[in-house]
């Protein structure tokens, strides 16, 4: 069922927010850290498995031995394009502008009066912070594409990550974290709907290339979550499109 992963992701964020508001103060920081380390390790394994599986399927297609070259070329060319476009920089600027807007808009934050129990943070700040965290990244795009094609497994993993993250965020930023389900529905739902509408153009080879390249990016996210190494995954996002185009041209 296309869109099921988006629904699960929304429910996970709402549940995590509720747990954070009710019990967040009872959860020690060391437990949060070890939880993210474990999820980071699991994400690395899933990303590696996904990438190797897609690469193996590509190797069995018309591309044959050139499949690995497509993977390397996609990651390199896509990363160079993303670096040239400065995707991560503009995403950070966008986030800063949203936060500035939230503080300046009297309708959104009248007098910047803090909400009760939110430890000095406004409702809007929680909304903006959580929205950026949950809606920006390779897992959002790739998972939503796969969900639109009928495979919600990656968004299930994202739902687990977002659910745990929303517990920690709600502990410090309050109920505004739960409002982030609005952009999740709009962005992830929109990508899933778009992917479903172009399903006829998503050949098995194109899907395998998305899995191979996207899996590598998921592996990079796992490295960051586990605290091993942070790679500029945002700048690498164009690699997914480059890989799909290369395979579409070559097959």
pLDDT digits (tens, 9 = 90+) for 132-164: 678 866 678 778 888 988 889 889 989 998 998
- CA 26, CA 12: separation in Å to the nearest integer? 20
Give pLDDT, residue 180. 86
Q: Which two tokens stand for residue 41?
A: 């390790």
Which uninterrupted H or E stretch holds 2? none
Give pLDDT, residue 124. 66
- CA 177, CA 165: separation in Å to the nearest integer? 10
**Residue/partner pairs of 120-125 with CB below 8 Å, 24 or more apart:** 121/172, 121/173, 121/174, 121/176, 122/176, 123/174, 123/175, 123/176, 123/179, 124/176, 125/99, 125/173, 125/176
Convert 114-132 to b/e letters by CB count within 10 Å (16 or more is b).
ebeebeeebbbbbbbbbbb
Nearby residues of 179 by Cβ (< 8 Å), 6 or more positions away = 123, 126, 127, 130, 131
Give pLDDT, residue 169. 78
Domain range for residue 213? 4-250
Report the sign of the C-alpha dihedral through residues 141, 147, 149, 154, in that order. positive
More confident: 203 or 8 = 8
Q: Which two tokens stand for residue 160?
A: 């687990």
Count of positions (residues) in the chain? 251
- CA 146, CA 52: separation in Å to the nearest integer? 17
Q: Is 227 exposed, middle or buried, given 0-12, 13-18 or 19+ CB atoms closer than 10 A?
A: exposed
The tens digit of pLDDT for each residue in 191-241 reads 898 887 777 777 888 888 888 998 898 888 788 878 888 888 878 889 988
Give the model's confidence band at 110: pLDDT under 50 very low, under 70 low, under 90 confident, else very high.
very low
Flag whether pLDDT at 167 surpasses 80: yes
Q: What mean pLDDT is reported for the chain?
A: 81
What's the number of domains the chain is made of? Answer: 1
How distant, in Å, are the alpha carbons of 49, 126, 216 from that of 67? 16, 43, 14
Q: Which two tokens stand for residue 220?
A: 């990079």
Q: Is 201 exposed, middle or buried, given 0-12, 13-18 or 19+ CB atoms closer than 10 A?
A: exposed
Give pLDDT, residue 175. 81
Q: Which two tokens stand for residue 146?
A: 């796969």
Q: Is 178 exposed, middle or buried, given 0-12, 13-18 or 19+ CB atoms closer than 10 A?
A: buried
């Amino acid at each position: 069922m296309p869109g099921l992963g988006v629904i699960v992701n929304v429910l996970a964020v709402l549940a995590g927010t509720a747990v954070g508001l009710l019990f967040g103060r009872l959860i020690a920081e060391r437990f949060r850290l070890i939880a993210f380390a474990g999820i980071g390790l699991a994400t690395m394994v899933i990303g590696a498995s996904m990438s190797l599986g897609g690469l193996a399927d590509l190797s069995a297609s018309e591309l044959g031995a050139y499949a690995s070259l497509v993977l390397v070329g996609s990651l390199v060319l896509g990363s160079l394009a993303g670096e040239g476009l400065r995707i991560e920089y503009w995403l950070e600027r966008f986030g800063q502008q949203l936060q500035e807007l939230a503080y300046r808009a009297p309708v959104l934050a009248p007098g910047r009066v803090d909400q009760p129990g939110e430890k000095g943070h406004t409702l809007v700040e929680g909304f903006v912070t959580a929205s950026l965290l949950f809606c920006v990244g390779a897992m959002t795009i790739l998972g939503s594409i796969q969900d639109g094609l009928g495979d919600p497994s990656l968004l299930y993993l994202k739902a687990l990550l977002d659910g745990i993250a929303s517990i920690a965020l709600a502990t410090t930023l309050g109920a505004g974290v739960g409002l982030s389900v609005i952009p999740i529905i709009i962005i992830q739902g929109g990508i899933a709907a778009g992917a479903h509408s172009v399903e006829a153009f998503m050949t098995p080879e194109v899907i395998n290339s998305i899995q191979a390249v996207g899996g590598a990016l998921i592996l990079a996210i796992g490295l960051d979550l586990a605290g091993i190494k942070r790679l500029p995954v945002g700048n690498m996002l164009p690699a997914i499109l480059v890989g799909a185009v290369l395979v579409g041209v070559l097959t």
